[in-house]
Amino acid sequence: MSDAVSKTGRWIDLANPTRFLSVAGAALPWLGGLTVLVLAIGFWMSMNAPDDYQQGSTVKIMFIHVPFAWLSMMCYTIMSVAALGTLVWRHPLADVSAKAAAPIGAVFTALALITGSLWGKPMWGTWWVWDARLTSVFVLFLMYLGIIALTRAMDDPAKSAKATAILTLVGFINIPIIKFSVDWWNTLHQPASVLRMGGSTLDPSYLKPLLVMAIGFTLLFFTLHLMAMRNEIWRRRVTAMRRVAARSADRGTVS
C-alpha cells in the first residue's frame, strides 16, 4: 500500500518539468555512457559471430535490422501509452514524450526498412516485396509521418496534444497486425524466431549478440528520447518567455 503511494508520488514528482529536467540531466550521462558501452560490446560480439553456412556474412545485418524493427514497434507503443497519459491522466509531460518520440520512431522504422531491404537483395533477390510484414511496417512509417505532420501543423501545443493522442490511439490497431502478420499470412518474411512459444529457434551464438544489440539500441532510444523531451521542454519555455517579454515590451512602450 505504502509502496503504491510512494510510487504514484514519484510519478507526480516527475510531472513537474523542472524536477524532470534535473532528473533527466543527472541520468543522461550515465544512460549515454551505458549505451555506448553496451553497443560497443554488442558490436564486438556481432563481429565475432560465425558466418551462416547459407547466408555468409550477410546474416550480420540481422544484428541491427531486428533491434530497429523491435524499436519501431516499441516506440509506437510508448507513444500510445503517452497518448493515454494525455487523455486519461492528463499527465503534463505525456504529450512532450509523445511528440519527442515520433521523429525517433520514424527514423528507427526507416532504418528497419532500409536494412531489411539491404538484407533482402542478396537473400530474396529483390529490394522490396509487397508481403504482409513489409507492407504493415511501411504503413507504420506512413503513420509516424502523418502524426509528425499533425503535431507540426498546429501552433498551440495543448490542442495538438489531444488531437495527436487520439490519432495515435486509433493507429495503434496496426501494431498487433505487424506483430502477427507473419503468422496470419504466409509471407516471404520469416516467422518469429526469437520471441515465440517453445523457446527461440536461433542458435545461441547468434542469439547472444542479438540480445545485447537489442538492449544497446533500446538504451540508445531512451537516451535520445530523454534528450528530445528535454529539448521540447526548453523550447516551450523559450516560447513562453518570448511571449512574456513581448507583452512587457508592449506595455513599456504604451505607458
Partner 1 sequence: MGALFLRDVRLGLRAGGGALVGILFFLAVIAVVPFGVGPDLKLLARIGAAMLWIGALLATLLGLDRLFQADRDDGSLDLLIMASDRHMLALTILVKCLAHWIVSVLPLVIASPLLGLFMNMEAAAIGATALTLLVGTPAITLIGAVGAAVAVSLPRGGLLVSVIILPLTIPVLIFGVSASYGAVEDPAPFLAPFLILAAITLFFAVLGPIAAAAALRSSAD
Q: Does 179 bind partner 1 (CB under 8 A)?
A: no
Contact 119, 43 (CB under 8 A): no
Nearest residue (CB) to partner 1, 46 versus 136: 136
Q: Binder to partner 1 among 26, 114, 170, 249 (CB under 8 A)?
A: 170
62-94: burial string, b at 16+ Cβ within 10 Å, e else = bbbbbbbbbbbbbbbebbbebbbbbbeeebbbb
- Write phi, then psi, for 115 (nearest 5 degrees): -65, -35
Counting contacts by CB under 8 A, is residue 37 touching partner 1?
no
Contact 213, 25 (CB under 8 A): no
> Binding residue for partner 1 (CB under 8 A) from 35, 80, 174, 223?
174
Residue 36 neighbours by CB under 8 Å, 6+ apart: none
39 lies in the site for partner 1, by CB under 8 A: no
Does the protein bind partner 1 through residue 194 (CB under 8 A)?
no
Least Cβ distance, residue 58 to partner 1 (angstroms): 30
Nearest to 214 by CA among 69, 106, 109: 69
Residues 57-116 that bind partner 1 (CB under 8 A): 87
- Please say which residue, 35 or 136, places its beta carbon nearer to partner 1: 136
Nearer to partner 1, 40 or 154 (CB): 154
| Least distance in angstroms from the C-beta of 146 to partner 1 | 4
SS3 state of residue 51: coil
> Does 146 help bind partner 1 (rule: CB under 8 A)?
yes
The reply to whether 145 sits near partner 1 by the rule CB under 8 A is yes
C-alpha to C-alpha distance for 181 and 175, rounded to whole angstroms = 10
Using CB under 8 A, list all residues that contact partner 1.
87, 135, 139, 142-143, 145-147, 149-150, 153-154, 159, 162-164, 166-167, 169-171, 173-174, 177
